[in-house]
Structure formats: structure tokens, C-alpha cells
Amino acid sequence: MKSRPTSGVHLTGWGAYAPSQVLTNADLERMVDTNDEWIVSRTGIRERRIAGPGETTASMAAVAGLRAIATAGLGPDDIDLIIVGTLTPDYQMPSTAALVKDAIGNKRAAAMDVAAACSGFVYGYATAQAYVASGMARHVLVIGAETLSRYTDFSDRTTCILFGDGAGAVVLSASDEPGGTLGIEIRTEPSGAYFIWLPGGGSSRPPTASTIAAGEHFMKMKGAETFKMAVRTLGSTALASLSRAGIELADVDLVVPHQANIRIIEALARSLDFPMARVFVNVECYGNTSAASVPMALSEAVAAGRVKKGDRLLFVAFGSGLTSGAITLEWTADPAAFSRAADIGPEDVTVMPGYLGPVNPFPPALEWLRRDAAASSGRNPDLDVRDIKPAAKGPPAAASRPG
């Protein structure tokens, strides 16, 4: 990558992908002691999407990424750097970004994951901004993608109602035109580090039969504590980003917040005295998709005609860490460019398989739902499982040699 500092960084492409399987509040009523009225009144969520057996974070990220590249009017090989914000990577290693690079057919980009939980997309954006502004990259693909359903305890009513799967992406490009990114603020407050966490599987509590028996591979959350800290942090981070941009909140045309809970979003708007009419909300359809939520919401907002050239946008997110981040930008792209991505779908990406035999990663607790959905559409549910890519060739011979 050549070093060629640039004056402007613009959001030139955007795209999203949501898996087709829907999990409604009524479905959850059949699984845990909850009800639609409680979930809607406490969270605003009515349904969420669940990745199918043949889908992973990388496969969904790749579809959203290809859509964003097409919207930007670019090809995969125009991308210099791929950043994936995720807390649910396909593997601990390699990075999900490396798998995305191969899946979208890019031959030249560097690729890396960013671990900032639900703020992963905003942190990825901030990282991409630095690369483009410094001249180290001309076009960066930033993706937020999650398969949270595979880290959710579907017997825990305090968490399983909240989360869903999906992916969203943007392309950031160098340009000397006016507008583009105006101000960024990213923060981390470790005092809330264990408000939302996934205890098992890391170097502190490596996976064993007992960590798995104890359900340590599922997300845990102190909901009320997270809620309070979220409202406070989102507001101050958003204001700091605006101050760096040198504009007032009143000048913002649309806020695209992390879609965690409608009550958090409304409390944020109240605390800032900002009208909800200028806040984009789609939490009712997707639940909390963590790093995917801001770019998924952005794509829907543009498709819904809520964004036009010259608009000032504010993205703001918070997540485990506790991380938070906000981006203030002036939109300079043609919103109609999304039509360039109209023909791109899951059939356009293939994530290279590892050399172990395939498994069905779909949450066992939701198997009944998948089978019901297949039966009502006359599909054979076992065919979805057969979509899982077969194992690639075995490990290199050297890997099995001692020493």
C-alpha cells in the first residue's frame, strides 16, 4: 500500500444481507416463559432472523460486502483492505475477513477482524477512515456481521429474546470532493467489561466438557446495568463525534443507532432532546444483530428514501467492553446506486471449507422451527443441511509431522 494522504473519506457503497429464517416472539413463547407483550413493550422487538445451516458469519458478510462493492460502482479487486467487525467469527483463526476475501474473489486486499462487539462496525469504520485518510488504502470494505444465534442460550429468557443474525457493509473511498466523514469518536470503558460477556472458549477459560456443560459458550448479560450505561455512553459519544465534526446535533438529518432496544434508542433521543422522527429504527424486524445492526439499518434507511445527498448522518453504537463509537458524516453518494446490487445474492459467494468434515451448525433448540418452516413451504429441510460445503482437501502433509 502506497502512502498518499488524502483530504476526504467518503462512504461510497453500502449493502446488507439478512437470512430468510424468521424467529418470532410467538415462536419464543413456545420455548421459554415469555410473551409477545413483554418482549415488545421492553424491547420493541417482534422478530429476528436466524442463519440457515449452510450460512455462517463469513458467508453473510460476503454477500453484504459484494452488495456494497457493487453499489460503490467497484469490483472486488478495487478493495485494498477488508475489515470485519464481529463477535461471532467462523473460527478463532483464520479471521473471518480472510474467508470473506476469498469468498468475494478479491486477490489483493489485506484482511482483518475487529473485536469490539456491537461497536465492531463503528470501530471498523474508524480504522478504515485512518487507512484511507493516511493514503495507505484507497477503497476499504467495512463489514459488520454476526451469527449470534449460535452463541445464544435458547433456555435463557433474559437474552434469547434479544438477538438475531445478519450482515451489513459499507465501502469507504478516498476523494477530494467536499463532504464525507466529518468526525469520529471511539471509546472503551472496562468498568463494564463483564456486563455482556462470553465466558468460555478463550485463553482464560479454555473450552472443556465442564465449560460446555455450564453453558459458558453462550452470551451472558446484566441487562439493567447494560441499559443504564448504554444510554449514558451513547449520548456522550454521539456529542463528542459531533463536536469533532464541528456541527450541532440540530444539523443532523438522520441518526442511525445500534438497534439494541427501542427503549434505549428512545431514551437516547430524549436525553439529547432529538426528535425520534429523525432516528432510524428497524429493531422490530431484526432484534439486536450486534456489529451488523448499524450497517443493516443504514441500508434499509437508504432503500426507504430516508437519506439524500448532502444529508448529515450520525451512526452511534455501544457494546461489550464496554465499547462505544459514533461517526458523523455528510452523505455524498447517489442513494439510487443500490440498484447496482439488485442481482447479488447468497449464490454468488462460496466460503472455502476447512479440511474437517462438515457439521450442521444450526442451533439444535431451533431445529423444530426450521423443520416447520420447510414443511409449510413444501421444502425438504435436509436439503438445507446438504448445502453445507463439503470438506476441502486434508491438512498439508507437513502439519502432521512431529516437531
Give the span between the Cα atoms of 183 and 190, in whole angstroms: 24
Q: Which residues pair with 318 in a beta bridge?
A: 324
Cβ distance to ligand UT7 smaller for residue 123 or 331: 123
Site string for ligand UT7, 99-118 (x = CB under 6 A): -------------------x
Give the span between the Cα atoms of 61 and 36, in whole angstroms: 30
Active site residue 380: no
Q: Which of residues 161-180 bind ligand UT7 (CB under 6 A)?
A: 161
Contact 306, 215 (CB under 8 A): no
| Three state DSSP letters for 215-238 | CCCCCEECHHHHHHHHHHHHHHHH
Catalytic residue selected from 258, 261, 282, 285: 258
Q: Which of residues 260-319 bind ligand UT7 (CB under 6 A)?
A: 260-261, 264, 288, 319
Give the span between the Cα atoms of 182 and 343, in whole angstroms: 32
Using DSSP's 3-state secondary structure scheme, residue 49 falls into strand
Q: Which of residues 226-265 bind ligand UT7 (CB under 6 A)?
A: 226-227, 230, 260-261, 264
The residue count for binding ligand UT7 (CB under 6 A) is: 20
Catalytic residue selected from 25, 106, 118, 285: 118
Cβ distance to ligand UT7 smaller for residue 181 or 226: 226
Cβ 290 to ligand UT7 shortest distance, Å:
6
Cβ 216 to ligand UT7 shortest distance, Å:
18
Contact 331, 178 (CB under 8 A): no
Determine, following the binding rule CB under 6 A, whether residue 188 of this chain makes contact with ligand UT7: no
Determine, following the binding rule CB under 6 A, whether residue 350 of this chain makes contact with ligand UT7: no
Closest-CB residue for ligand UT7? 223
Determine, following the binding rule CB under 6 A, whether residue 223 of this chain makes contact with ligand UT7: yes
Extract the C-alpha cell encoding 255.
Answer: 441518526
Amino acid at 378: G
Cβ distance to ligand UT7 smaller for residue 35 or 210: 35
Cβ 147 to ligand UT7 shortest distance, Å:
15
Cβ distance to ligand UT7 smaller for residue 124 or 319: 319
Active site residue 258: yes
Give the span between the Cα atoms of 170 and 14, in whole angstroms: 4
Give the span between the Cα atoms of 112 and 308, in whole angstroms: 31
Q: Within a 13 Å sphere around the CA of 236, how many CA atoms are in the beta-carbon half? A: 10
Contact 291, 323 (CB under 8 A): no
Determine, following the binding rule CB under 6 A, whether residue 147 of this chain makes contact with ligand UT7: no
Give the span between the Cα atoms of 53 and 67, in whole angstroms: 22
Cβ distance to ligand UT7 smaller for residue 227 or 286: 227
**Taking each helix axis from N to C terminus, what angle separates 262-272 and 36-43, rounded to the nearest 10 degrees?**
30
Active site residue 118: yes
Q: Given candidates 25, 43, 152, 289, which one binds ligand UT7 under the rule CB under 6 A?
A: 43
Amino acid at 10: H
Using DSSP's 3-state secondary structure scheme, residue 344 falls into coil
Determine, following the binding rule CB under 6 A, whether residue 196 of this chain makes contact with ligand UT7: yes
Q: Which of residues 202-221 bind ligand UT7 (CB under 6 A)?
A: 221
Please report, as ranges, the residues that interact with ligand UT7 according to CB under 6 A: 34, 38, 42-43, 118, 157-158, 161, 196, 221, 223-224, 226-227, 230, 260-261, 264, 288, 319
**Active-site residue set:** 118, 258, 288
